[in-house]
């Protein structure tokens, strides 16, 4: 059972200011400590001067005391906000038995730096303080030898749980679930249930319901604590339990389960295998983490970052993290450049084209991204039947037509005024309108096609649409200009 929060001071409200204040405290203590170290190091003080050594120790002891009282999530935040040497010094001050829960809380990139600083024996000890489901989260980052020695030291039941948890791929309910189930039988009275619960030191976190199982662990229903508490103790479990409850299997997509938690306001839900046997539990804390990680990695992906970065990691790590995206964009930009290259003769004759063409391409990209965002959303909400796709496409075409005529018209007038050519203005307006219609078409087609192919319509859509509206915009504008102006 995870240690309860009772013995940690919770940052009042967990707000950014309070955390900043704590961080500043830690940094002050570290700075004082370093000052003494520096003096000793520069030999301005005899190395073994007793008094100084005491001062030195006092700062570290004070820091250790503060850390002991902090919630693991807060310590994790502080570790993430410290440069590597400071980070490792604080890490060494943290009590060994808390290493495990803190490793679970820090970001992947920072976790790597902490694990790299620990000996295998330390890591094994830290891992042993964790539940099987937590271990499964940590295992991929641990050295192979540590995982092996863990398997050898775990009690049988937990070993099986760990094996099970490790077997479910990321993105499934199995990878998110824990094993903190409290089970009861259906043929006992609530009085018996009360007596049974009193034998616990504490119920697992987020226990809002007990799972009712038969002799073979097959789930019969759930008994909510609320029902338990408002019913008469003489009642039998079977009379107050709910049997038509939502249940998941370990292979269900985590997305669906998370959606159900949000939709039906759940706190916990049972996870059963194909035979209906209770194998785990999903709770709202895991779902909340999942939502936040998903929305974060989506944000990072949208900017072309492969993963979160440790802000104190070497430059090289950041370069690798951002490389792929820049390379892809370089390719699409190069293609667009070659499209312009086709019309160099036209540009030579009418140089105004060079100044105006990026506007056509850019606005097309913006409008296309708006369309894609709407369509991806409609797909995610299950609103996009084939029937509706056509309807939506017509609508997007309508929006593009209006925007093309209005904004394209405005730009046409500007081009006319700037370069004194009505024909150039008309080409500008037509090109804008056509490129916006292209953006709408491709903006609907890309996510719909990706979804039909069973791929995530959100991933990569934005690069693709920009590539199309850039090259397409240049081609349409320069092509029309070549046809009608030269």
Using CB under 8 A as the binding rule, the residues of this chain from 77 to 136 that contact a copy of itself are: 77, 80-81, 83
Shortest distance (Å) from residue 207 CB to a copy of itself: 6
Nearer Cβ to a copy of itself (24/35) = 24
Min separation Cβ 281 and a copy of itself, Å: 14
Number of residues that bind a copy of itself (CB under 8 A): 139
CB distance 380 to 459 below 8 Å: no
Q: Which stretch binds a copy of itself (CB under 8 A): 59-67, 73-81, 89-97, 215-223?
A: 73-81
Angstrom CA distances, 217 to 211, 212, 280, 300, 353, stand at: 10, 9, 11, 42, 74
Q: Please, what is the minimum distance in Å from the beta carbon of residue 38 to a copy of itself?
A: 17
Give yes or no for residue 482 binding a copy of itself (CB under 8 A): no
Site for a copy of itself in 458-477 (CB under 8 A): 470, 474
Residues in contact with a copy of itself, shown as a per-residue x/- string from 219 to 258 under the rule CB under 8 A: ------xxx-xxxx---------x-xxx-x---xx--xx-
Nearer Cβ to a copy of itself (149/441): 441
Smaller CB distance to a copy of itself: residue 111 or 227? 227
Using CB under 8 A, which residues numbered 33 to 72 contact a copy of itself? 71
Q: Are 393 and 425 in contact (CB under 8 A)?
A: no
Helices (H), 231-283: 237-240, 254-264
From the list 433, 429, 423, 431, the residue with the least C-alpha distance to 411 is 429
Query: Do β-strands 268-272 and 209-213 pair in parallel, antiparallel, or remain unpaired?
Result: unpaired
Nearer to a copy of itself, 53 or 245 (CB): 245
Q: Looking at beta carbons only, is 44 or 387 nearer to a copy of itself?
A: 387
Q: Where are the strands (E) in 33-191, listed by range?
A: 183-184
* x/- map, 337-356, a copy of itself, by CB under 8 A: xx-xx--x--xx--xxxxxx
Contacts 24+ apart (CB under 8 A), 109-114: 109/307, 109/308, 109/309, 109/310, 109/313, 109/317, 110/76, 110/79, 110/80, 110/310, 111/141, 112/141, 112/310, 113/84, 113/87, 113/88, 113/310, 113/313, 114/79, 114/87, 114/88
Write out the binding residues for a copy of itself, residues 180-219 only, by CB under 8 A. Answer: 194, 197-203, 205-208
Residue 62 CB, nearest distance to a copy of itself (Å)?
21
What does residue 392 show for φ and ψ, rounded to 5 degrees? -65, -40
Query: Helix or strand or coil: residue 56?
Result: helix
Please say which residue, 37 or 262, places its beta carbon nearer to a copy of itself.
262
Q: Are strands 209-213 and 183-184 parallel, antiparallel or unpaired?
A: parallel
Q: How far is the CB of 138 from a copy of itself (least distance, A)?
A: 17
Residues between 369 and 428 with contacts to a copy of itself, criterion CB under 8 A: 369-370, 372-374, 377-378, 381-383, 385, 388, 391-392, 395-396, 398-399, 402-403, 407, 410-411, 414, 418
The token pair at 230 is 């408002």
| Per-residue binder mask for a copy of itself (CB under 8 A), 271-310, x = binder | -------------xx-xxx-xx--xx-xxx-xxxx--xx-
- Residue 52's alpha-carbon distances to 32, 63, 89, 144, 318, in angstroms, are 12, 17, 19, 43, 40
């Amino acid at each position: 059972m995870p240690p309860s929060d009772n013995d940690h001071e919770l940052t009042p409200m967990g707000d950014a200011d309070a955390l900043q204040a704590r961080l500043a405290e830690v940094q002050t203590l570290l700075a004082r400590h370093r000052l003494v170290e520096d003096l000793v190091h520069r030999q301005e003080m005899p190395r073994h001067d007793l008094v100084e050594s005491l001062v030195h120790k006092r700062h570290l002891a004070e820091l250790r005391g503060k850390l002991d009282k902090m919630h693991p999530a807060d310590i994790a935040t502080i570790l993430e906000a410290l440069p590597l040497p400071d980070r490792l010094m604080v890490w060494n001050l943290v009590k060994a038995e808390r290493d495990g829960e803190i490793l679970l809380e820090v970001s992947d990139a920072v976790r790597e730096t902490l694990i790299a600083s620990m000996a295998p024996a330390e890591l094994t000890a830290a891992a042993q303080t964790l539940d099987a489901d937590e271990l499964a989260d940590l295992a991929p980052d641990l050295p192979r030898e540590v995982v092996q020695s863990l398997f050898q030291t775990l009690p049988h039941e937990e070993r099986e749980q760990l094996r099970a948890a490790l077997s479910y791929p990321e993105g499934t309910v199995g990878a998110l679930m824990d094993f903190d189930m409290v089970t009861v039988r259906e043929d006992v009275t609530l009085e018996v249930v009360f007596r049974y619960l009193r034998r616990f030191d504490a119920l697992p976190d987020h226990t809002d319901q007990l799972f009712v199982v038969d002799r073979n662990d097959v789930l019969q229903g759930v008994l909510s604590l609320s029902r338990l508490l408002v019913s008469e103790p003489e009642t039998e479990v079977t009379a107050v339990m709910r049997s038509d409850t939502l249940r998941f299997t370990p292979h269900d997509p985590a997305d669906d389960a998370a959606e159900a938690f949000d939709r039906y306001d759940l706190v916990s839900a049972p996870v059963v295998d194909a035979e209906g046997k209770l194998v785990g539990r999903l709770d709202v804390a895991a779902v909340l983490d999942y939502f936040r990680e998903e929305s974060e990695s989506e944000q990072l992906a949208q900017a072309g970052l492969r993963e979160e970065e440790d802000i104190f990691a070497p430059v090289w790590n950041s370069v690798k993290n951002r490389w792929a995206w820049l390379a892809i964009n370089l390719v699409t930009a190069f293609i667009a450049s070659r499209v312009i290259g086709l019309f160099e003769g036209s540009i030579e004759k009418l140089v105004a084209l060079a100044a105006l063409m990026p506007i056509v391409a850019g606005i097309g990209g913006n409008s296309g991204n708006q369309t894609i965002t709407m369509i991806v959303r409609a797909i995610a909400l299950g609103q996009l039947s084939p029937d509706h796709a056509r309807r939506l496409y017509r609508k997007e075409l309508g929006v593009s037509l209006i925007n093309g005529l209005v904004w394209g018209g405005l730009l046409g007038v500007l081009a006319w005024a700037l370069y004194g050519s009505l024909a150039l203005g008309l080409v500008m307006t037509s090109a804008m309108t056509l490129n916006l219609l292209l953006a709408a078409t491709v903006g609907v087609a890309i996510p719909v096609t990706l979804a039909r192919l069973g791929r995530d319509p959100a991933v990569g859509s934005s690069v693709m649409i920009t590539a199309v509206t850039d090259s397409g915009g240049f081609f349409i504008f320069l092509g029309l200009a070549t046809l009608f102006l030269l």
